[in-house]
Amino acid sequence: MKILFSAGESSGDQHAANMFLELQDLQPDIIGIGMGGSKMAQAGIEIRYDSGNIAVIGVVEVIKHYPEIRRALTLMKQLVAKERPDLLVCVDYKEFNFKLARYAKGLGIKVLFYVSPQVWAWRPGRVRTYGKVIDMMAVIFPFETAYYDAEKVPVRYVGHPSVDKIRPRFNRDDALKHFGLDKSKPIVGLLPGSRANEINRLLPVMLAAAEKIQFDLSDCQFILPQADSISDAMLEVHLRQSSLAIKVIKSQPYDVIQCCDAVMTSSGTATLEIALLTVPMVIVYKLSSLTYWLGKKLVNIPFIGLPNIILGKSFIKELIQHEATAEKISAEVLQILTDNTYADEMRENLLQVKKQLGQGGGSKNMALLVLEMLSV
C-alpha cells in the first residue's frame, strides 16, 4: 500500500510523521511519499518536495511566495497522477490541499483530510465545498464534528495530536537544574513562533517587553525554546540588539515551557501546548496590515487564542496587532508573576482546556482510520 502525504507547514510535518510511525507499527510494509519536512523524512516518508519553501502565513506572504506554491502544487498533482497512491492524506495547509484533493478525487483516488479548516471561525459554507472533494474529514476538536454531520459529510473525531506530543523529558525540578535556572526567581518564556515572518514581527516586541519586566523584577530569568525551523542566524539578528541575558534552548520546547512561571507566545498550536502544561500566558500576534484587515472582515469569532475558543471565554489576554506593545505585554506578564490569585485562576481554566482535549491517542486513531479507508 502506498500513501501520498501533503503537509505544508511544520505542525503538519510533525502530525504526518507521528501518524506514519503509528502506521508502520500496525503495517510495516506500508510506503509513504510526498511533500513535507524533516520530521516526515525521519519517520521514513520519502520527501519529494520540501515544504519549508512554502511554509508561510498571511495574504502578503502568500502572494510573495505564490510562484513557488504554484510550482509545488503542480509537482504534487504530477505525483498523484504518476504514483496513483492508494490514499492521499492532506494534512492542514487548507487552500493548497483543497486544490490537490479536488485533483486527486477527479482521478478516483481516495482522500483523507486531517485537521479541518476553521469553519467555526469563518466561511462555514466550506463544509459543503470540502465534502465534494474528500472521502473523510478527520477533526481534532470534538465540537467540529457537528458542522460536518449537519451537511452529511463523513467525519471522524480523532483527538488533538498535541495531547500525545506534550511529553517533557524531565520533571520540572530536574529541568530547572538541567537548564541552570534558579527556581526561587521568576522565569519567563518567549515563544515568538516557528516561521521567519513571526520571528521578525514578534521577537523585537517580546524582547522590549522582557526589558521592561526586568526593570520591575531585576532577578527575572528569560528563556527561549528555539523552533527547529528557525536558524541561529535569524534569532541572533534580534538577540544581539538586546542587553538581556536570554537562555536559548534547542529541541526541548516542553521541558522549557514547564519551567516557566509565565509565557509570552505567538498565536497558534503553541497556545494549546502551553495550556496542556498549565502555564499562564499572554498571546501576542502581528500580521501584515492587509492580512489583519481581511481577517477582521472575515472572522466571526471574538478570540484567536485556541484555549479561549475552546472554553468560549477570554481568560487569556490576547494582544493583537496595534495592541501588541511592549508596555501591554509586560504589564500582563507582571500581573501573572505578582498576582497569585490571577495566575491560579488562569491555571484552573487551563486545566479545563486540558480536560476538554481528552486523553490523546490522536496519531494512533489516525493510523487506524487510514487502514480502515485502505481496506474499503
AA letter at 30? I
Cβ atoms 222, 188 nearer than 8 A? yes
- Residue 324 is assigned to a structural domain of this protein: yes
222 and 186 belong to one structural domain: yes
Q: Do 149 and 186 sit in the same domain of this protein?
A: no
Strands (E), the chain: 2-7, 31-36, 46-50, 87-91, 111-114, 136-139, 155-157, 187-191, 221-226, 246-250, 262-266, 281-285, 318-320
Position 10 scores a pLDDT of: 81
pLDDT number for residue 229: 80
- Strands 262-266 and 187-191, sheet pairing: parallel
Q: Are residues 110 and 176 in the same domain?
A: no
Nearest to 139 by CA among 166, 116, 161: 116
CATH number at residue 98: 3.40.50.2000
189 with 316, same domain: the answer is: yes
166 part of a folded domain: no
In a domain, 165, yes or no: no
311 and 215 in a single domain? The answer is yes
Side chain identity at 38, as an amino acid letter? S
Nearest to 162 by CA among 304, 358, 371, 23: 358
User: Residue 237's closest CA among 273, 266, 199?
Assistant: 199
Element spanning 308, H or E: helix 306-311
Taking a C-beta distance cutoff of 8 angstroms, is the pair 134, 101 a contact?
yes
Domain count, the chain: 2
Residue 261 and residue 199 share a domain: yes
Q: Which residues contact 94 (CB under 8 A, 6 or more apart)?
A: 117
Q: Can you tell me which residue has the cell 527575572?
A: 220
Q: Which of 219, 162, 230 is nearest to 191 (CA)?
A: 230
190 with 228, same domain: the answer is yes
Asked if residue 212 and residue 154 are part of one domain, the reply reads: no
18-56 burial, b at 16+ Cβ within 10 Å, e below that, comes to: bbbbbbeeeeeebebbbbbbbbbeebebebbbbbeebbb
Give yes or no for a contact between 100 and 6, defined as CB atoms under 8 angstroms apart: yes
Which phi and psi angles does 113 have, rounded to 5°?
A: -105, 125
Closest by alpha carbon to 40, among 51, 56, 53? 51
Copy the grid coordinates of residue 55: 511554509
150 plus 8 within the same structural domain = yes
Q: Which of 202, 326, 178, 310 is nearest to 255 (CA)?
A: 178
Residue 209: inside a domain: yes
Q: Is residue 127 part of a domain?
A: yes
How high is the pLDDT of residue 278? 96
Q: Are 294 and 310 contacting, i.e. CB atoms less than 8 angstroms apart? A: no
User: Interior CA angle at 61 toward 292 and 131, to 5°?
Assistant: 80
203 with 145, same domain?
A: no
Question: Which residue bears the cell 492587509?
Answer: 290
Split the chain (376 residues) into runs of 10 and give each run's mean pLDDT: 93 92 96 95 96 71 81 96 98 94 97 89 82 96 90 94 88 95 97 89 96 96 92 92 92 95 93 96 84 65 86 94 95 98 98 89 94 93
What backbone torsions phi and psi does residue 282 show, to the nearest 5 degrees? -125, 135
The answer to whether the CB of 291 falls within 8 A of the CB of 59 is: yes
Radius of gyration of the chain (CA): 21
* Sign of the four-CA dihedral 58, 61, 63, 68: negative
Residues 148 and 58 both lie in one domain? yes
Q: Using DSSP, state whether 102 is helix, strand or coil.
A: helix
> In Å, what is the CA distance from 68 to each residue of 71, 120, 152, 184, 254?
5, 30, 35, 50, 33
Residue 204's domain comprises 172-356
Query: Is 167 a domain residue?
Result: no
C-alpha cell at 16: 504526518
CA dihedral sign of residues 245, 251, 253, 254: negative
Is there a domain that residue 246 lies in?
Answer: yes
Q: How far apart are the first and last CA of the chain?
A: 13
The answer to whether residue 153 is domain-embedded is yes
User: Same structural domain for residues 154 and 217?
Assistant: no
